[in-house]
Amino acid sequence: MLASERPRLRPGLAAARDEQDPRYVLVWDKLRLSNRVQRLTLLEFAWMQLCNGERTLHDIQVEAMRQLNGQLLALDLFRDLVERLDAALFLESPRFRQCLAGPVREPSCIGCYAGEPDALRRQLRELFTDPRGSGLPDEPQPNGRLRAALLPHIDYPRGGVTFTWGFKEVCERSNAELFVIIGTSHYSNERFTLTRKDFKTPLGIARTDQHYIDRLVGHYGEGLFEDEIAHLPEHSIELEVVFLQYLYENRRPFRMVPLVVGSFHDSVQTGVLPRIQADIGRMIEALRRTEAEIDEPICYLISGDLAHLGPKFGDPQPVGEHVLTHSREQDLAHMRHAEAADADGYFQLVAEEGDRRRICGLGPTYMVLEAFRPSHGRLLHYDQYVHPLGHESVSFASMAFYQ
């Protein structure tokens, strides 16, 4: 890198002191676009933070020497540091942009599911045929009236059986070839984030419907791609795509739309219904108008889990039976509002709790219920994962929504 260039750190990085040796700082990528961990001295970490896109390498050298009361430092020290950061994909640089530029999003969840196609097919089949599973789907019913489905996005080993109940209903009761997946956003700082990338998994490439995206963007306006990078590590879309590929590879082709929804914390804090918020209301209207212009059936998939409890998520005590029982009761109360297609009641129950149980599917579920107003829903399966030592618990469900 030339001394005249201005290195800039990219978003999504995290850092912590090295527990083995506090003279060093470990820097890694929260977005998992890079699997490298940089071990920096305290001085190198301070120099790294000077890479703000406004300083040249020479400027960084001068600032570092000023902080060290004029101690002479060779420019090669900073050139070497920046080259290491660039090689790790920690900088907004041509190397990093090339990594992002392709039209296909690579899988990020292999390990949660098998990475080899036949092994993955066996894994999914075993989830359907598990004694707790839904059984394999039958032939689709003509004139299926399924409008949408709520599905988990927990990893398959812990919650895969629950996925099967929702996907069996989708496969049997929807004749859609276009699936709009509205999922919880775990990485984006924006309320709504789209990507135009197709999604690759061991079962092939799932195509994204560009025509639908064009129309949605036209109705919503700018801003839907501001944090598109957040789609690369996101699991809430990918885990639904894998099931779609498995179910439809010998049935019919499908297209999909990946939209992730950020936090509704501002609405929870104020108690103001989300649809009153300008951006949420605009997206609700954009989704409705886009559907009205699409001359084919659309199936909406909500990718969202329910409660997140225990020390892993910030609670002071391990999860006990009393907490689990109360949480189950609250979850089922949420599901009753969803079955009644009552978006406002669903939200208000979360707001009354102050979202203490961290309902991560709030945003996507509210958006589908409010935008598309199904006539009713039906709870198909509910479960709670509980860590053996009570370190965490996550609950999740499959539901179907009908016209």
Instruction: Give the residue from 52, 85, 100 where a domain finishes.
Output: 100
Tell me the C-alpha distance between 151 and 73, whole Å. Answer: 56
> Same domain, yes or no, for 143 and 285?
yes
Tell me, yes or no, whether 91 and 118 share the same domain.
Answer: no
**How many domains would you assign to the chain?**
2
Residue 2 lies in a domain: no
Please state the pTM of the whole predicted model.
0.87
> Do both 204 and 76 map to the same domain?
no
305 within domain boundaries: yes
Decide if 121 contacts 345 (C-beta within 8 A).
no
- Residue 4 inside a domain? The answer is no
Q: Which of 186, 179, 190 is nearest to 146 (CA)?
A: 179
Q: Are residues 74 and 207 in the same domain?
A: no
Determine, yes or no, domain membership for 84.
yes
Rounded-to-integer distance, Cα 157 and Cα 58, Å: 51
Together in a domain, 73 and 201: no
Distance CA 42, CA 51 (A): 15
Same domain, 147 and 87: no
Give a yes or no: residue 8 inside a domain: no
Q: Given this model, what pLDDT does residue 5 score?
A: 84
pLDDT reported for residue 96? 87
Are 138 and 83 part of one and the same domain?
no
112 shares its domain with 92: no
- How many Å apart are CA 33 and CA 89, to the nearest integer? 8
For 210, the domain range is 104-402
User: In a 3-state reduction of DSSP, which class is residue 129?
Assistant: helix
Pair (142, 205) in one structural domain: yes
Answer yes or no: is 5 within a domain.
no
- Final residue in a domain of this structure, among 83, 100, 117: 100
Give the tens place of pLDDT for each residue, 142-160: 667 899 999 999 999 999 9
DSSP string, 25-84: EEEEETT-S----EEEEHHHHHHHTT-BSS--HHHHHHHHHHHTTT----HHHHHHHHHH
> Is the residue at 88 inside a domain?
yes
Sign, CA dihedral 281-283-287-293, equals: positive
CA distances from 344 to 242, 267, 277 (A): 31, 12, 13
Distance CA 347, CA 269 (A): 12
CA 228 to chain centre: 11
Query: What number of other Cβ atoms are within 10 A of residue 388's Cβ?
Result: 5
**Both 192 and 286 in a single domain?**
yes
CB 102 within 8 A of CB 24: no
Predicted pLDDT of residue 4: 56
Radius of gyration of the chain (CA): 23
Q: Which CATH number do you get for residue 122? A: 3.40.830.10
Distance CA 252, CA 295 (A): 18
Q: What is the pLDDT of residue 189?
A: 87
Q: Is residue 127 part of a domain?
A: yes
pLDDT of residue 339: 97
Please, are residues 394 and 149 in contact by the beta-carbon 8 Å criterion? no
Q: Is the dihedral of CA 192, 195, 196, 202 positive or negative?
A: negative
The ranges of the chain with pLDDT < 50 are none
Domain boundary among 64, 79, 100: 100
CA angle 328, 367, 342 (to 5 degrees): 55
Pair type for strands 24-29 and 13-17: antiparallel
- Give yes or no: residues 324 and 380 share one domain: yes
Cα atoms in the Cβ-side hemisphere of radius 13 Å centred on 256: 26
What pLDDT, on the 0 to 100 scale, is given for residue 1?
57
| Predicted local confidence at residue 48, as pLDDT | 96
Q: Could you tell me if 42 and 141 lie in one domain?
A: no
Q: Which of 215, 192, 373, 210 is nearest to 283 (CA)?
A: 192
Tell me what pLDDT residue 78 has. 92
